[in-house]
Amino acid sequence: MKSFIRIMKALSDPNRVRVLKLLQNGELCVCEIKEFLQLAQSTVSKHMKNLEDAGLVERERRGTWIMYRLAGTNGSGYVDEVLALLKDWLEDDYDLQQMRLNWDMVLKTTKPCQK
């Protein structure tokens, strides 16, 4: 039950749900997520910590950069179910649509994270 509550708290913020939607397109670093959301790096880092604690994202350190991706199957039925349902969420969200339109531009301007 504790993991379910943690997941629901993580999904209570629209920016965290938008991050999950962005990660459906592939992994991103904090600098890229920051550009998409137009938030301070510290705020994005807090959002990512919340999503990671809920088991919704995984991170991998590459040198000085931390890359985030959607969590793989981790044995938690709650996480697996939420990520499966996520595909249909927020498709009509204007902010998310704008982020997708700017996808290539954002990735070009945030090259330092060397994928």
Asked if pLDDT for residue 111 goes beyond 70, the answer is no
CA gap 70, 63 in Å, rounded: 20
pLDDT tens digits along 60-93:
998 888 899 998 766 567 887 888 788 877 777 7
Sign of CA dihedral 95, 103, 16, 91: positive
First-to-last CA distance in the chain? 36
pLDDT tens digits along 49-68:
999 999 999 999 988 888 99
- Specify the residue for token string 């920016």: 15
User: In terms of CATH architecture, what is 2-104?
Assistant: Orthogonal Bundle (1.10)
Do the Cβ atoms of 22 and 70 come closer than 8 Å? no
Does pTM surpass 0.85? no
